[in-house]
Each structure stands twice: as structure tokens, then as C-alpha cells.
């Protein structure tokens, strides 16, 4: 198995034919336990059981402040996150799910009416296609507020193409917010093509530094880690093959806007207004920017822009501009950050 088409075929076969429910997975990589906030757990309880049964995600890439927004879910599978997003964007928003595996998409589509009746509105569309080419499913340039994805990009044999498509379809100021499996090294070529390792989201796992370089090449030099959990390998066959690699399920946030490759200090300060639904007391931009409501926090130029020039702009007061420079900003992530030690992107 060497070509991109063969890899896609192998992944489609795994999700369409081999797996029938999350119980069939050999590792926890695609279903890692990710503490979901209570308000999302409550929404989960209202989803159709068959949609939940076929959930193979590795996190909860469901950011706040989505009301009225257009959200695109890449590799939506049976539609769990799309239906959660349907509630989060509300009747004035729109959710689009794209997936290449007919068996998965069929489940998502089959329960569309069921959810629309329960929610009182229909705002979800499912499209059959490849995330490497979103033009073929009609997603226009600069048309999407937020792109989410749950344990999918690792499965693509053409990751730079997927990420380029994401930055094409995002509106200026839009956000990529996704959970995926990351590895602490490049996976050896022969293991990248192993159908089980690939299907289990291990063989194609993204090596953080290569991911960071792809984003940098796409004009996004500052990508943030929101949270991460280690993935444990339990299956002896899987351990024998790939036990030397450490895997993490990581939730990542990146914005489509001009940013610098390092954090620069312009003496700016940001104050969270406490106005995001379900987040009255604080807001976490990433794993090292915790904003308490009303409490001013010094921020670098990139963080100031992420807050002021995205949909979070209504929820923050950003004081100061970039007219005076004070040198580099010490904005290093904590030791747990996936990007710890990474050169270039600050945070």
C-alpha cells in the first residue's frame, strides 16, 4: 500500500466495514477520555444512540462562542459533533459535515430529521467527499467561521493539502479548532502504511514539529495547544509494532490572521468581559492563557490579535496597540505544552 488512493481506501474500509462501534477499536487512540464540560454532556444525552455508538473521535473540539456561526466538521463520521454543534450554533447558525465513508455518513444523514424535530430547527448538512479537496463539495473560499475536526487529519495521506484547504475556506479571523493524535516523532514509513495502525489513528499521527512547519508555510506561525492527554496502548500486537512512540490526543487552535513567528511585547493588556455563554467566570484561550473575568492580563501582540480580531473580539477589551515595542514577550507554554521547546511559534 503506497499511494494516497490506496491509503484512503484502507481508511474507508476500516471505518466502513471493519469497525461497527467504538467497542471494536483496538486502542483508546480514537476514543480517548477527554473531560467534557457538563453543558456539553447534557447536550450529548439528547443525541440519537446510533450516532453516539459510532463515535470514533479523540477529543471534544467544540469551542465556545458559536451562536449564529457557520461551522465545518471535517471527517464528521456518524455526526456526533455535528449534532452537538447544531445546538451550539443555534437556529441562526449552520453546520456542515464532510466525510468520505458512505457507511458512516449514512448514519449521520438517517438521523437528521430525528434531531431536527427534537431541536425545533434543521441546520445541519452532510456532504460526501474528501477533506483534501473541499471545492468538490462546494465549500467556497472565506466562507466558514470555524473548522472543527475530531481525530481525522491524522488519517489523511495528504495532510498539507487538508490544512491548505482549511485556511482557504476559513473567513479572515476564522478559527481552526481540532482534536487529533500527535506523536513524539515521525512514524517509520512501513508503519505509516499498516492498515490497523492507520485505522486506529496511530500510523498517520502528526509529529508536532512537522504540523507546526506546515502551518507556518501556510502563513500561520503561531498555533496554540488547548489541552492534551496521553494515549495508552494496550493491545500487545499494537505495542509490539509501535510501542516506541509516545502518542497524545491534543486539542489545537489556530486562527486565520496575520501573526508573527515569535511573541512580541507591545505592552498590551486584555480583559475578559465574562460574556461568553457557559463561561461567566473565566476563559481559556490555550493551555497557558487563563483569563479571569475582569482581571487584566498582559498579552503578546499575537494573543492580542487572536482576541481582538476573531469572534472573541466582542468578549474582550484589548488595551494598547503596536505603536511601541518592548522586545520579546515571555509567553512560553508550561512544561506540559505539546509545543514546549518548539522554536518559533510562541505559544
Considering the complex, state which of residue 55 and residue 316 has its C-beta at the smaller distance from ligand SAM. Answer: 55
Distance of alpha carbon 152 from the chain centroid: 9
- Does 11 bind ligand SAM (CB under 6 A)? Our answer is yes
Considering the complex, state which of residue 59 and residue 64 has its C-beta at the smaller distance from ligand SAM. Answer: 59
62, 71, 107, 131: which one contacts ligand SAM (CB under 6 A)?
131
Q: Closest separation between CB of residue 88 and ligand SAM, Å?
A: 15
Interaction pattern, residues 279-318, with ligand SAM; x per rule: CB under 6 A: ----------------------------------------
Structural contact between residues 81 and 62, judged by C-beta atoms closer than 8 angstroms: yes
- Number of Cβ within 10 Å of residue 323's Cβ equals 7
Considering the complex, state which of residue 181 and residue 276 has its C-beta at the smaller distance from ligand SAM. Answer: 181
Residues 197-216 that bind ligand SAM (CB under 6 A): 201
Rounded to an integer, what distance in angstroms lies between the CA atom of residue 333 and that of residue 166? 25
Stretch that binds ligand SAM, among 117-125, 147-155, 285-293, 312-320 (CB under 6 A): 147-155
Stretch that binds ligand SAM, among 50-58, 62-70, 248-256, 269-277 (CB under 6 A): 50-58
Say how many residues touch ligand SAM, by CB under 6 A.
26
Distance of alpha carbon 208 from the chain centroid: 14
Picking from 181, 154, 184, 180, the residue whose alpha carbon sits closest to that of residue 244 is: 184
- Number of Cβ within 10 Å of residue 186's Cβ equals 13
Picking from 269, 285, 272, 282, the residue whose alpha carbon sits closest to that of residue 346 is: 285
- For residue 219, what is its C-alpha cell? 502563513
Picking from 222, 226, 219, the residue whose alpha carbon sits closest to that of residue 263 is: 222
Interaction pattern, residues 222-251, with ligand SAM; x per rule: CB under 6 A: ------------------------------
Q: Find where cell 475578559 sits.
A: 272
Stretch that binds ligand SAM, among 130-138, 272-280, 295-303, 308-316 (CB under 6 A): 130-138
Stretch that binds ligand SAM, among 148-156, 262-270, 326-334, 337-345 (CB under 6 A): 148-156
- Does 57 bind ligand SAM (CB under 6 A)? Our answer is yes
Rounded to an integer, what distance in angstroms lies between the CA atom of residue 9 and that of residue 3? 10
Q: What share of the chain is helix, strand, coil (3-state, %, to 5)?
A: 35, 25, 45
Rounded to an integer, what distance in angstroms lies between the CA atom of residue 159 and that of residue 161? 5
Which residues contribute to the site for ligand SAM (CB under 6 A)? 8, 11-12, 15, 30, 55-57, 75-77, 80-81, 99-101, 104, 130-132, 150-152, 155-156, 201
Amino acid at each position: 500500500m503506497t499511494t494516497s488512493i490506496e491509503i484512503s481506501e484502507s481508511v474507508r474500509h476500516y471505518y466502513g466495514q471493519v469497525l461497527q462501534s467504538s467497542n471494536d477499536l483496538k486502542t483508546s487512540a480514537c476514543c480517548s477520555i477527554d473531560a467534557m464540560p457538563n453543558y456539553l454532556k447534557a447536550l450529548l444525552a439528547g443525541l440519537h444512540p446510533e450516532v453516539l455508538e459510532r463515535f470514533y473521535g479523540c477529543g471534544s473540539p467544540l469551542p465556545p462562542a458559536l451562536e449564529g456561526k457557520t461551522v465545518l466538521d471535517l471527517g464528521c463520521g456518524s455526526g456526533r459533533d455535528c449534532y452537538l454543534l447544531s445546538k451550539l450554533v443555534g437556529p441562526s447558525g449552520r453546520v456542515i459535515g464532510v466525510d468520505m465513508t458512505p457507511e458512516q455518513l449514512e448514519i449521520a444523514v438517517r438521523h437528521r430529521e430525528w434531531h431536527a424535530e427534537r431541536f425545533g430547527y434543521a441546520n445541519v448538512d452532510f456532504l460526501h467527499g474528501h477533506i483534501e479537496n473541499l471545492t468538490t463539495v462546494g465549500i467556497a473560499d472565506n466562507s466558514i467561521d470555524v473548522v472543527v475536526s475530531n481525530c481525522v487529519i491524522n488519517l489523511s495521506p495528504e495532510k498539507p493539502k487538508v490544512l491548505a484547504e482549511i485556511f482557504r475556506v476559513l473567513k479572515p479571523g476564522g478559527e481552526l479548532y481540532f482534536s487529533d493524535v500527535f506523536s513524539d516523532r515521525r512514524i517509520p514509513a512501513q508503519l505509516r502504511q499498516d492498515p490497523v495502525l492507520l485505522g486506529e489513528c496511530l500510523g498517520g499521527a502528526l509529529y508536532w514539529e512537522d504540523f507546526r512547519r506546515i502551518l507556518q508555510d501556510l502563513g500561520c506561525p503561531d498555533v496554540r495547544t488547548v489541552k492534551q492527554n496521553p494515549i495508552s496502548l494496550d493491545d500487545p500486537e499494537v505495542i509490539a509494532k509501535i510501542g516506541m512512540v509516545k502518542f497524545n490526543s491534543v486539542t489545537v487552535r489556530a486562527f486565520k490572521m496575520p501573526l508573527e513567528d515569535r511573541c512580541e511585547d507591545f505592552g498590551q493588556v486584555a480583559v475578559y468581559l465574562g460574556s461568553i455563554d457557559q463561561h461567566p467566570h473565566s476563559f481559556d484561550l490555550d493551555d497557558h492563557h487563563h483569563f479571569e473575568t475582569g482581571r487584566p492580563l498582559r498579552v503578546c501582540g499575537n494573543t492580542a490579535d487572536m482576541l481582538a480580531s476573531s469572534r472573541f473580539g466582542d468578549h474582550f477589551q484589548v488595551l494598547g496597540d503596536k505603536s511601541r515595542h518592548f522586545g520579546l514577550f515571555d509567553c512560553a507554554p508550561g512544561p506540559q505544552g505539546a509545543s514546549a521547546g518548539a522554536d518559533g511559534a510562541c505559544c
